[in-house]
Amino acid sequence: GPSQPSNRESNQEPDQPNKEPNQEVGPTNEDDEGFNNCDRMIFTKRFEAMDDRKKWLLKSGKFVEDVLYDLGMRCKFHNLVHSFIIDCEDRFVQSGFTNNELMEIREASDKQGEMQIDDELLNYISTFAKNSTEEIREALYALHPNLTRNYNPINDFKYEHIRTTVSDWVRLLEMKPNPLTMTNLPESWFRVNVWRTIDIAFSDIPFMFFVG
């Protein structure tokens, strides 16, 4: 069923905004140098390019994207709202919505259900279920009809993303010493070598850009 408001939310009136926590406490990670003026300009341009007809309109009359933008402009450090991502457990995000609005957002998320992966794509993924990186490399460079001359950037990007991701991880696994076993690597290393897998996953969506 839909998620219920936490205790800290239930102390507020359903139609009253939640109390805003202090956003000057500090960054979410030690590499965060703050959400500067340049970041704000880029964030604002992305927001102003949005079409109101494609925004999420709540029953209260608020656009979710408008609320996230207002929150983002008040942030002192980088936050998920700067990518227009809603984290309903973030007290700062909660401060922009009433409890009724948060409930509506959660209920909509619950109704989406799990995404289904087609059998052909699952079969391609299973070709990398090997016992060694040598065998995985052999599978990586095997010809595939969706990745050769008939490649379609719109329909076949998912195959390319899988192959690129597997290739990246094979490279990391084969490095000596293995960086994945180290504990003192900076967050910037993970952005370049690990989190890029997530960033690239959305490359086929028009006008969506990730800035690490």
User: 2 near 107, Cβ under 8 Å?
Assistant: yes
Calculate mean pLDDT across residues 160-182: 93
Selection from 105, 34, 115 nearest residue 75 by Cα: 34
Instruction: Kindly give, in sequence order, each residue whose CB lies less than 8 Å from that of residue 140, ignoring residues fewer than 6 positions away.
Output: 128, 163, 166, 167, 170
Rg (CA), the chain: 21
Q: Report pLDDT digits (tens) over 188-198.
A: 888 888 888 88
24, pLDDT greater than 90: no
- What is the pLDDT, as a whole number, of residue 166? 96
Q: How far is CA 84 from the centre of its chain?
A: 9
Calculate mean pLDDT across residues 146-158: 90
More confident residue, 24 or 50: 50
Q: Report pLDDT digits (tens) over 30-59.
A: 455 688 899 899 999 999 999 999 999 999
CB atoms within 10 A of CB 96: 24
pTM of the model: 0.53
